Structures are given as C-alpha cells and as structure tokens.
Amino acid sequence: MTIYDFEAKLITGEKKALRDYEGQVLLIVNTATKCGFSPQLKGLEKLHERYKDKGFEVLGFPCNQFANQEPGSNEEVAKSCKLDYGVSFPLFEKIDVNGENAHPLYKFLTQQARGVLSERIKWNFTKFLIDREGQVVKRFAPTAKPEKIESHVKDLL
C-alpha cells in the first residue's frame, strides 16, 4: 500500500486521487491558519516554488482538531492561505487527522511513521515526507521549519 491508494477532496470540493501525484516527492502537512506555526505556510510555499519544477509538491490538509485553530469554512481557509501567506500549493478540505473520524490517508501516514510516543498527530504542522514511490520516508514535528526540511527534500529529488 502507498499514498497512491487514497483520494481526498480538494478545498474546492473536487475529488482528487493521490495517484495523480505518482512519481513526485511530496510533503503532506496538516495546517491551521490561526496557529502559532502558521508562518510556516510561507516557508512551505517557498519550498513548493523552489522545487515544483523538479517534481516536488506540498499538499496542505487544514485541520481544526487542535485548539480550534482552523475554525473557518473551506472557502475562508483557502482565502486566508492565499491572501495572508501566498499559498499556491494544493489545499484539501478540512479533515480530522486523529480519532475515529480521521481521514484514511492520515490513518495510513501515522501507521507508517509513528510520532515520539504514539502514532497520534500531536499538533498542527506535523509533516510527512513521501518519496517518488508513494512511501512515507520521514515524519517531522510541528516545530520543524520548512527550511530545515529542505535538505531532505533535495535528497529525494
């Protein structure tokens, strides 16, 4: 099983097969625009812009499971990401990343790359680096800034 076995809805409501990203290096991130880590959206956009022509993509999955830090509608989230942070990478509809309603993709990601003490996502901006074969290579804590992840991305490209 790989991430290509999943689909998710883009923030615009369209279904998107993750198989469409086959052969690319991906960084999958659960985001929140009202979080103290929200400035990372600018860093994620810089990574996306720098490497998108080399086969790299950031995929953002807004989530409101942590201290109500993504309370808006999908439309509000998209607008904030674009206007406040310049995000052009793909954003998906708001999802749960933990619990019984967790998106199947996130159930898979957390099984493939456990956190420090458990599989659970502990906070916004947990990042999963995926290789060109759709396999989870590494999990990064919310505190890991995009510029610190860049060397790992370059290694896979």
| Catalytic annotation, residues | 35
What counts of helices (H) and strands (E) characterise the chain?
4, 6
Query: 51-54 — which CB contacts under 8 Å span 24+ positions?
Result: 51/25, 51/153, 51/154, 51/157, 52/89, 54/157
Cα distance between residue 71 and residue 55, in whole Å = 32
Pairing of strands 25-31, 136-140: unpaired
